[in-house]
Amino acid sequence: MYNAIITAVAGYVPETKLTNFDLEKMVDTTNEWILTRTGVQERRIETDMKKNSSDMAANAVKILCEKRGIHPSEIDIIICATVTPDYIFPATASIIAAKTGATNAWGYDIEAACSGFLFALGTAAQFVQTGKGKKVVVVGADIMSRIVDYTDRTTCILFGDGAGALLLEPSEEEMGIKDFIFYSDGNGCKQLYMKAGGSALPPSYETVSNRLHYIYQEGQTVFKQAVYGMAEVSAQIMKKNNLKSEDVAWLVPHQANKRIIDATAERMGLPKEKVMMNIEKYGNTTAATLPLLLWEYEPKLKKGDNLILSTFGGGFTWGSMWIKWAY
């Protein structure tokens, strides 16, 4: 068995910014409401309709390979987490491989909503630990603007577009992905989902005219579950591995709402200086929040730092992971 270590991280966000002031002109909301209730100031939006999730992901993967000094043809596996695949099938991972020149990679998509990236990382680690993968790319990419209803003020303020990618490699050093705890509960399905477009309710004239191809969320219910789930699972992984708050260098939390993040940090006994946060710039990018955080905070990370990654999202799905940073 090897240790699965992260050897590079990269991110990509589109250039166009959608600010709270822009949203004030689109729906009945205020900058102040959005800031105090969510912590978001602006999000990035891909306005070129010819560009999809795979394009953002391919950009992140190309940057990743350049950083690590490898050619994409050296990648063995690509696992892509997304709720906004280019198509229902085939997997976006295949398209990313084609767009980056990862000619020797096989791959597939994982769909676990906002927990997708963390679940994908846990899955990828198994291939690396068992020696089945030597260069495994985990990418989280979501073009949320394509499924956001910009007439619904309760959801359109939350989400943004972006992609992030990590390279996992085997190592003999006692670093990398140490442990994880994942959960899902399908009883939460109808509190956060897209009502139509799947086999339960295929696309039709009615589904389009009734605006059923957008994100539907019962915000308060999800909020309560998220605060409880994310805080509990983060405390659980610390307890299971005998980690005290002083042992944890960083909390890397899913960026859904600043209030959920604050509650999680408090439960873990962590001061805000140890909490990665970029929700103000990007909003909730679903599967891309965690790699975008690691990408931005990479210069501050030190070898041996204990990181706790933590998520909650549609499904419901939630989980936490303990990583020892390897460079």
Question: How near is the Cβ of 316 to ligand UT7 at its closest, in Å?
Answer: 8
User: Cα torsion at 248, 174, 79, 236 (round to 10°)?
Assistant: -40
Closest residue (Cβ) to ligand UT7?
219
Q: With both helix axes pointing from N to C terminus, report the angle between 116-129 and 289-297 in degrees, rounded to the nearest 10.
A: 70
HSE, CB side, 13 Å, CA atoms: give it for residue 13.
26
**Binding residues for ligand UT7, per CB under 6 A?**
29, 33, 37-38, 114, 153-154, 157, 219-220, 222-223, 226, 256-257, 260, 284, 312-313
Q: Cα separation of 14 and 162, whole Å?
A: 7
Question: How near is the Cβ of 286 to ligand UT7 at its closest, in Å?
Answer: 7
Question: With respect to ligand UT7, which residue has the nearer C-beta, 35 or 243?
Answer: 35
What is the token pair recorded at 1? 């068995």
Is 254 one of the catalytic residues?
Answer: yes
DSSP E strand stretches across the chain: 3-12, 17-19, 42-44, 77-81, 106-110, 136-143, 161-171, 176-184, 192-194, 215-217, 250-253, 306-313, 317-324
Question: With respect to ligand UT7, which residue has the nearer C-beta, 222 or 294?
Answer: 222
Question: How near is the Cβ of 38 to ligand UT7 at its closest, in Å?
Answer: 5
DSSP strand pairing (136-143 vs 77-81): parallel
Which of these is catalytic: 20, 52, 65, 254? 254
CB atoms within 10 A of CB 258: 19
Is 284 one of the catalytic residues?
Answer: yes
Which of these is catalytic: 52, 59, 278, 284? 284
Question: With respect to ligand UT7, which residue has the nearer C-beta, 11 or 116?
Answer: 116
Q: Cα separation of 2 and 5, whole Å?
A: 9
The contacts of residue 180 (CB under 8 Å, 6+ apart) are 118, 122, 237, 319, 320, 321, 322
Question: With respect to ligand UT7, which residue has the nearer C-beta, 54 or 257?
Answer: 257
Question: How near is the Cβ of 123 to ligand UT7 at its closest, in Å?
Answer: 20
Question: With respect to ligand UT7, which residue has the nearer C-beta, 2 or 193?
Answer: 193
Question: How near is the Cβ of 262 to ligand UT7 at its closest, in Å?
Answer: 12
Which of these is catalytic: 114, 156, 257, 278? 114
Kindly list the catalytic residues: 114, 254, 284
